[in-house]
């Protein structure tokens, strides 16, 4: 259990809940799982409690290839959350997956001035973390695709 | 646009804003949010020439530093009110205008006669504003994204600004022209937080928070202060102390699809909320004399200008850079300095200035302002609210 209220509400590690458990379990196997509605086939990210198209709760997933392009990005020069102060500058990006959905992540292994909208990127998984309830997870991140 | 028709329209021109009260804005150490909220209510009543006993409706927005679930009940208790209508709303920066819309509906529906809408905050000197899991909830996308360092308004907005600028060739100088124009207005407002003159050269030397947004592209982080607004029937407002600002049209719209809707970056639900308000009022963008945009970021202003039909999609950068937002321009905007330079009262100071313009009380008064528009925007492009105020009943 989290030790303090601050840890629960302000920590930088996601908290695994019922709706996202399958997503985060996938990351431990280095899988990026796109939520897919078994009723209508709609694909959505992030995972939700129901299909945002048909409201069915019969939900599964498909595996993402890990390939995508930069839909938009920002280079953060001033960290607002204290856990990121030592990391500036860092790149927060919205990645359009090859399969369609857009997810938020970081682009790494590249100088900020070399990032552009439309750039091809490839997923990798960062080190294992524990959430406030000691559930393990890994964050999918992206770096420029090798030519 | 959806084909809204208003066959049984009863709202436009039937209600009015009869009073507005503001505290000082900025650093007000030793003041609780409650003391600011109650001061603003008293000032609004005095402004309208009303007594507390006249008030029978209370609508509140809870402070961001202390998002209380029973805020309206508690504030009503401190004010010693007996209300026939009570409400509390929070849809981010869209709340102020949406709460006025709700008050107008309550008055027009006969639920109450004199409704006070109020918001007050001491986030500058008291507890900081809370965002993230406290407001979004555990396991929600917006809070999970903290894992990637996506924490704080500028970082959230910067990605949309980048996409918008990239798509339409909008330059940083164009963003800067918004900050420069609003600072010019703030310099004439003795109550504004930032009044020093600002040039585009100074803007370009300003440091980035989250590229392409600089410190000067972002709203003032937090301000202490409060604003209260009194809504009543047009008939009653005509007998009160100040000239009525008639509520000619309102609209509240939302796009809750987030990143699954690519348009989320370059257009806001303001395109729909303004259409609703224009249709209700029987007005066009060309009828608007003065605008108060929700200027949490300079890029937000540019996109809202386009959503509201003041220029074509992608042209707002040129429109701003050509000086149209300045007093004397074709669309004087944020004439108190807005959230960029006056104060961050989450749109409530912007709303108060919209009322002052229609009354002829602004420190950057637009001569003969007959029609004013006020914008509210909340939840990073999720919700938008629009208010059209007129000097004459329509």
- The low-confidence residues of chain B, meaning pLDDT below 70, are 1-10, 130-142, 259-260, 262
Q: Do B210 and A76 touch (CB under 8 A)?
A: yes
Task: Compute the nearest-CA separation of A27 from chain B (Å).
Answer: 14
For residue range B206-260, what is the model confidence (pLDDT) as tens digits?
999 999 999 999 999 899 999 999 999 999 999 999 999 999 999 999 988 776 6
For residue range B290-347, what is the model confidence (pLDDT) as tens digits?
999 999 999 999 999 999 999 999 999 999 999 999 999 999 999 999 999 999 999 9
Closest of A82, A90, A85, A100 to residue A141, by C-alpha: A90
**Residue from B210, B258, B382 whose CB has the most chain A CBs within 10 Å, to mutate:** B210
Higher pLDDT, B374 or A14: B374
Write the CA distances from B196 to B158, B176, B221, B264, B350, integer angstroms: 26, 15, 18, 35, 20
Q: Is B10 exposed, middle or buried (0-12, 13-18, 19+ CB in 10 A)?
A: exposed
Q: What is the CA radius of gyration of chain B?
A: 19
Residue B273 parent element (H or E): helix B270-281
**Residue from the list B130, B148, B208 with its beta carbon closest to the beta carbon of A92:** B148
Asked if residues B281 and B394 have their Cβ atoms less than 8 Å apart, the reply is yes
Nearest residue in chain A measured CA to CA from B138: A15
Buried b or exposed e, range B194-208, using 16+ CB within 10 angstroms: bbeebeeeebeeeeb
**Residue from the list A14, A75, A77 with its beta carbon closest to the beta carbon of B147:** A14
Regarding pTM above 0.90, the answer is yes
Q: Is the pLDDT of residue A5 over 60?
A: no
Give Cβ neighbours of residue B367 (< 8 Å, ≥ 6 apart).
none
Residues of B in contact with A102 (CB under 8 A): 259-260, 262
CA distance B261 to B267: 10
Residues of B in contact with A143 (CB under 8 A): none
**Residue from A80, A85, A114, A115 whose CB has the most chain B CBs within 10 Å, to mutate:** A80
Q: Would you state the pLDDT for residue A82?
A: 82
Write the CA distances from B231 to B80, B98, B234, B245, B290, integer angstroms: 19, 13, 9, 9, 21
Q: Would you state the pLDDT for residue B2?
A: 47
CA B273 to chain centre: 14
- Give all strands (DSSP E) within chain B, no chain letters: 15-22, 57-60, 85-88, 114-122, 208-210, 213-214, 224-233, 245-254, 290-292, 371-378, 383-390
Whether the upstream peptide bond of residue A46 has omega within 30° of 0, thus cis, is: yes
CA distance B326 to B280: 28
Residues of A in contact with B149 (CB under 8 A): 12, 76, 79, 81, 83-84, 87, 90, 92, 106
- Joined together, the tokens standing for residue B109 give 């529906």
Asked if residues B320 and B332 have their Cβ atoms less than 8 Å apart, the reply is no
Task: Compute the nearest-CA separation of B261 from chain A (Å).
Answer: 9
Task: Collapse the DSSP code of B348 into the 3-class scheme (helix H, G, I; strand E, B; otherwise coil) and give the result.
Answer: helix
> For chain B, how far is it from start to end, CA to CA, in angstroms?
24
Asked if residues B346 and B95 have their Cβ atoms less than 8 Å apart, the reply is yes
Q: Is the pLDDT of residue A8 over 80?
A: no
CA distance A140 to A34: 12
Q: What string of DSSP letters covers B309-347?
A: TSS-TT-HHHHHHTTTTSTTSSS-B-TT-HHHHT--STT
Report the range of poorest mean pLDDT among A7-11, A23-27, B177-181, B359-363: A7-11
CA B202 to chain centre: 27
Q: List the 184-243 stretch of B: residues with Cβ below 8 A of A.
A: 207-213
β-strands B224-233, B114-122 pairing = antiparallel
Q: How many CB atoms lie within 10 A of CB B178?
A: 30
Q: Is B238 exposed, middle or buried (0-12, 13-18, 19+ CB in 10 A)?
A: middle
Q: The dihedral of CA A5, A10, A13, A16: what is its sign?
A: positive
A41 in reach of chain B (CB within 8 A): no
Task: Collapse the DSSP code of A39 into the 3-class scheme (helix H, G, I; strand E, B; otherwise coil) and give the result.
Answer: coil
User: What share of residues in chain A are helix, strand, coil (percent, to 5)?
Assistant: 20, 35, 50
Largest CA distance in chain B: 56
Q: Is A5 exposed, middle or buried (0-12, 13-18, 19+ CB in 10 A)?
A: exposed
> Which DSSP symbol is given to A118?
T
Across the range A24-45, mean pLDDT stands at 97
Q: Would you state the pLDDT for residue B293?
A: 98
Residue A132 parent element (H or E): none
CA distance A81 to A125: 22
**Residue from the list B143, B149, B159 with its beta carbon closest to the beta carbon of A79:** B149
Give Cβ neighbours of residue B53 (< 8 Å, ≥ 6 apart).
none
Asked if residues A21 and A14 have their Cβ atoms less than 8 Å apart, the reply is no
Asked if residues B354 and B372 have their Cβ atoms less than 8 Å apart, the reply is yes
């Amino acid at each position: 259990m989290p030790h303090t209220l601050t840890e629960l509400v302000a920590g930088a590690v996601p908290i695994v809940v019922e709706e996202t458990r399958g997503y985060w379990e996938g990351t431990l196997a280095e899988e990026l799982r796109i939520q897919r509605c078994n009723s209508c086939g709609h694909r959505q990210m992030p995972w939700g409690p129901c299909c945002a198209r048909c409201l069915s709760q019969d939900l599964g997933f498909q595996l993402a290839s890990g390939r995508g392009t930069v839909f938009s990005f920002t280079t953060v020069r001033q960290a607002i959350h204290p856990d990121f102060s030592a990391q500036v500058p860092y790149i927060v990006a919205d990645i359009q997956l090859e399969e369609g959905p857009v997810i938020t992540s970081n682009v790494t292994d590249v100088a900020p001035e070399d990032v552009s909208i439309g750039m091809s990127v490839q997923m990798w998984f960062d080190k294992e973390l524990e959430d406030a309830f000691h559930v393990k997870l890994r964050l999918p991140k992206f770096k420029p695709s090798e030519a | 646009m959806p084909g809204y028709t208003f066959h049984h329209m009863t709202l436009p021109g039937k209600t009015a804003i009869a009073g507005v009260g503001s505290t000082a804005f900025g650093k007000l150490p030793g003041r609780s949010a409650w003391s600011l909220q109650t001061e603003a209510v008293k000032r609004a009543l005095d402004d309208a020439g009303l007594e507390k006993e006249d008030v029978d409706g209370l609508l509140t927005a809870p402070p961001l530093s202390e998002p209380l679930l029973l805020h309206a009940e508690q504030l009503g208790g401190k004010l010693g009110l007996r209300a026939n209508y009570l409400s509390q709303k929070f849809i981010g920066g869209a709340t102020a205008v949406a709460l006025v819309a709700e008050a107008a509906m309550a008055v027009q529906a006969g639920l109450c006669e004199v409704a006070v809408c109020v918001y007050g905050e001491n986030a500058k000197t008291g507890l900081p504003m809370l965002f993230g899991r406290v407001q979004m909830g555990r396991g929600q996308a917006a809070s999970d994204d903290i894992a990637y360092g996506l924490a704080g308004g500028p970082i959230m907005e910067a990605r949309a600004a980048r996409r918008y600028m990239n798509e339409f060739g909008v330059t940083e100088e164009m963003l800067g022209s918004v900050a420069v124009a609003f600072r010019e207005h703030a310099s004439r407002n003795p109550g504004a937080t930032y009044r020093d003159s600002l040039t585009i050269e100074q803007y370009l030397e300003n440091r980035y928070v989250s590229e392409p947004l600089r410190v000067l592209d972002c709203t003032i982080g937090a301000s202490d202060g409060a604003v209260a607004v009194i809504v009543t029937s047009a008939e009653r407002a005509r007998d009160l102390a100040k000239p009525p600002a008639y509520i000619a049209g309102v609209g509240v719209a939302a796009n809750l699809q987030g990143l699954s809707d690519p348009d989320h970056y370059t257009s806001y639900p303001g395109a729909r909320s303004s259409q609703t308000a224009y249709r209700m009022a029987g007005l066009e963008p060309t009828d608007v004399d003065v605008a108060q945009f929700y200027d949490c970021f300079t890029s937000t202003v540019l996109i809202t200008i386009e959503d509201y039909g003041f220029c074509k999609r992608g042209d707002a950068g040129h429109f701003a850079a050509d000086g149209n937002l300045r007093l004397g321009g074709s669309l004087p905007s944020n004439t108190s300095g807005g959230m960029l330079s006056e104060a961050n009262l989450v749109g409530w100071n912007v709303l108060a200035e919209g009322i002052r313009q229609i009354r002829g009380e602004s420190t950057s008064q637009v001569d003969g302002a007959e029609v004013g528009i006020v914008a509210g925007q909340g939840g990073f492009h999720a919700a938008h609210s629009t208010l059209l105020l007129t000097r004459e009943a329509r």
